[in-house]
Structure 1
C-alpha cells in the first residue's frame, strides 16, 4: 500500500513524468544519425548497428534485471534507470567516434530496459482509485508517446537551434534530473519481496500455437518500428531528397504516436481478431512504404509511418493479451518476457539486415525488399489466424 501523505497524492503524475522523460531520451539521437554519419564518415550499415546496439542492451537488461524491482522495490531500479539515461546523454555530448556512440546507445538501452516494466508497474500501482481503470493506458501513452516526442524534439532543435549535436542532450539531462527528483519524491509503490534473479524465458506447450502467431505479428511490427527509427532520416535525405531534420523527426514521431493510438483504441477488440486486423493494416503500411520509396514521395512515407504504427500497435498489444489469456497465471511473467524478447530481437537484427542490403543494393532497393519481407510475414500471420478461426466449432 502506498503511504497516506501528500507524496502519495502526487505519486501518479510524478512517476508518469519520470517514465516519459526517460523514454523520450532513448529515441533522441534518431534525427542526428545523418549528421553523425557525415562527420564520422560512416554509412547506413553503421547507423543500423548503432541503433541495434540499443535494442540488444534493452533486451539484455530486461532478461537480467527484469525481476529486480519485485525484489528490491521500484524506486531503486527507477533511479538507476535515470542515472543510466543521464550517463548516456553525457556520453553523446562527448561523442566524436563510433565506439562512443555505441557506449551511449548501450547506456540508453539499459535505462529503457530498467524503465519499461518497472515504470509501467509503478505508474499503475500509484494511480488513485478514480484512475485505476485508465492507469494502464496512461502508462502506454507515457511510454510510446515519449518515444515519439524524443525524435520530434531533437529534430526541431537540430534543424532550428544552435549546437545541433549537443543541445538536445543538454535538454534531456535537465529533464532526467527533474525525473530523478520526481522518483525520489514519490513513495515506494511495491514492497520488497522475492529474490533477485534472471528472468526465466519459456512457453508452455499448450500456449505455443497462439504464441507463435502473436510473436510473428510482434516481430513484423517491431521490425518496421526499428526500420523507421534507424533509417527514416536516411530515407528522407537520400531517397526523398529533403534535407530537413525536423521532417525526419516528425516521421519517426508519427509511427510511435499512431502505435499508441492503435494500442489504446483496440483494448476492447477480441485479441486474436485484433491481431489479424493489425497484420492487415501492417500490410497496407508496407505497400505505402513501397510506393513512397519507388516514387520518392514524402506524403506516402508519412502515410506509411502512420498506417504501420497503427497496425503495429494493435497487433502487438492485442497479441500480448491473447498470449496472456492463454497462459496459466503462474507462468505469465516468463511467457510475457519471452514475447518481449522476440519483439526486441525484431527491432535489432532485421534492421542490421537492411543496413547490409543497403550497402549492397542501395537504400531504395533495400527498403522496398524490407517492406515486401514484412508484408509477407504479416500475411502469413493473418492467414494462420483465419485458419484457426475456420477450424473452431461453431457455437449455438
Structure 2
C-alpha cells in the first residue's frame, strides 16, 4: 500500500507542475495575438512566481497542521482552475489571473508535496524520498514545456488543447490521492494568514548557502523560460513552437538527472559541483546571445539543468531532510519560497532592461551577473571543503 501511496503522491506533484509550464512555448503566440512586448511576457511569467511565494508564505505551514493530502488536493484544484482560465478567450488580465492561480497551485504543492513524499519513506531511505520529490517536480516542469510546444504545433487549437489535456491529468491525480493515500491526522490548530516561515538555527547557515546556489540556478531558468520563445522567434527566426518547449524541457529533464546524480555524493560537495556547472551554463548562454547561435543555448540548457539538480538536491539534503517531521512542511516552504523569489525578480529585471537595450543585450548582462554570483558561492563552498 505504501508504494501505491508514494506513486499517487508523486503523480499529483508531477501533474500540478505540468500545468505551470504549459504556457512557456505559447508565449510567442500570445505575444503576436495580443501585441505583447518582451516586458509584458516576462511580467506574465513572473506573476506565476509571486503566486507561488504568496501561497508558501500564507499556507506554507498548513500541511503541518491539517495533514499533507488536503493541501495536495487544494493544489490540484487550483491547477485545474488555472487551466480552465487559460481555455477562455485570452486577454492580458485573464492571463495574469490564470498565471497567479497556477503559481498558487505550485506554492501549495512545492512545500506540501515535497514533505508528503519524504514522509512516505522510512528514516533510512529519507534521501530517496527527497530525490523522488525533486524528480516529480522537475519532471512535471519539463513535461509541461515540451507537451505545450508539441501540442501547439500539431493542434488546430494551440491555445486550448494543452490545457484540456492538463485538466484530465488533474482529475486522475485527485482520484489517485483519494483512493491510495491515507487519511490525514489533525496535528493541531489551524492558523491562517501571513506567517513568517521559520528556519531552525542549526540549519540556518546551510539554508542560506543552499538558497543562494539554487536561487542562482532558478534565476537562469526563469529568464530562459520567459524569453526563449521570443529570442528564437525574433532573433533566430525559428517559429516552430516545439523548439522553445524542447529547450526548456531539457533544462528540467536534466535537472531531474542532476538530482539523481547528486544523491550519490555528499551534499556539500554536490553544492560545489552545482555552482561550477552554473558558471559554465551562464557562459554558454552568453555565447548564444552574443553570437546569435542556437547550439550554445541547447548545451547551456543541459548544463544548467544538471547544475540546478545538484544544487536543489543538495539544498534539500542540508535543510528539509535534517529537520523533524512537524516542521518539515514549513522548512520546505521557506526553501522553495526563497527559490521562487529568485526565479521571478531576474526575469522582470531582464524585461525592464530590454526596454532600454535589446533583449539579447539584457540577457547578456544578466548572464554575466549570475556567472559572477555562482563563482562567489562556489568559492565560499570550496573553502568550506578546503
Normalised by the length of structure 2, the TM-score is 0.91
Matching residue within 7, 14, 20 for 1:26: 20
SS at match of 2:299: helix
Summarize the Cα distance change of 1:20–1:214 in structure 2 as closer, same or farther, 3 Å threshold.
closer
How many residues get paired? 384
1:295 to 291, 296, 306: 291
Measure the CA separation in 2 of the matches of 1:132 and 1:208.
Answer: 20
Deviations 1:264-323 (A, max 9, x none): 101132222221211111110011111111222211111011101111111222134334
Could you tell me whether the CA contact under 8 Å between 2:135 and 2:259 is conserved in 1? Answer: no
Using the alignment, how far apart are the partners of 1:131 and 1:318 within structure 2?
16
How far the C-alpha of 1:207 sits from its partner, in A, is 4.9
Work out whether residues 111 and 336 of structure 2, in 8 Å CA contact, stay in contact via their aligned partners in 1: no
Does structure 2 retain, via aligned residues, the 8 Å contact 1:9–1:128?
no
- Contact 1:52-1:348 within 8 A present in 2 as well: yes
Q: 1:134 to 1:379 in 2, by over 3 A?
A: closer
> Bigger CA drift: 99-108 or 119-128?
119-128
SS at match of 2:159: coil
- Structure 1 contact 203–338 (Cα < 8 Å) conserved: yes
What residue number does 2:157 align with? 163
CA distance in 1, matches of 2:206, 2:196: 20
Q: For residues 224 and 183 of structure 2, what CA distance do their matches in structure 1 show?
A: 35
| Structure 1 residues 329 and 88, CA gap change in structure 2 (3 angstroms) | closer
The answer (yes or no) to whether the contact 2:252–2:305 under 8 Å persists in 1 is yes
- Go from structure 1 to structure 2 and tell me whether the alpha carbon gap of 1:204 and 1:19 turns closer, same or farther (over 3 Å shift): closer
* Residue number in structure 1 paired with 2:236: 240
Q: What does the per-residue CA deviation read over 1:88-139, in whole Å, with 9 as the maximum and x for residues that have no partner?
A: 0111111421110011011111111111222233334446999877443333
Q: Deviation of residue 53 (structure 1)?
A: 0.6
What does residue 362 of structure 2 align with? 366
Q: How does 1:218-257 map to 2 (within 5 A)?
A: 218-257=214-253
Cα pair 2:22 2:144 within 8 Å, conserved: yes
Uncovered stretches (5+) of structure 2, i.e. residues with no partner = none
| Structure 1 unpaired stretches of 5+ | 1-6, 391-396
Equivalent of residue 77 in structure 1, options 51, 59, 71: 71
Residues 292 and 299 of structure 1 are in contact (CA less than 8 Å); yes or no, is this contact kept in structure 2? yes
User: Does structure 2 conserve the Cα–Cα contact (< 8 Å) formed by 1:95 and 1:101?
Assistant: no
Judged with a 3 Å threshold, the aligned counterparts in structure 2 of structure 1 residues 175 and 27 are, in CA distance, closer, same or farther, namely same
Q: Is the 8 A contact 1:31 1:246 kept in 2?
A: yes
Partner of 1:175: 169
Worse-matched range after superposition: 178-187 or 149-158: 178-187
Alpha-carbon RMSD: 2.6
Structure number with greater CO (CA < 8 Å, separation at least 6) is 2
1:104 corresponds to: 98
Alignment-derived partner of residue 347 in structure 1 = 343
The 1:37/1:378 distance shift into structure 2, 3 A limit, reads same
Aligned to 2:178: 184
* CA displacement at 1:329 relative to structure 2: 8.8
Q: Is the 8 A contact 1:15 1:123 kept in 2?
A: yes
SS at 2:235's partner residue?
helix
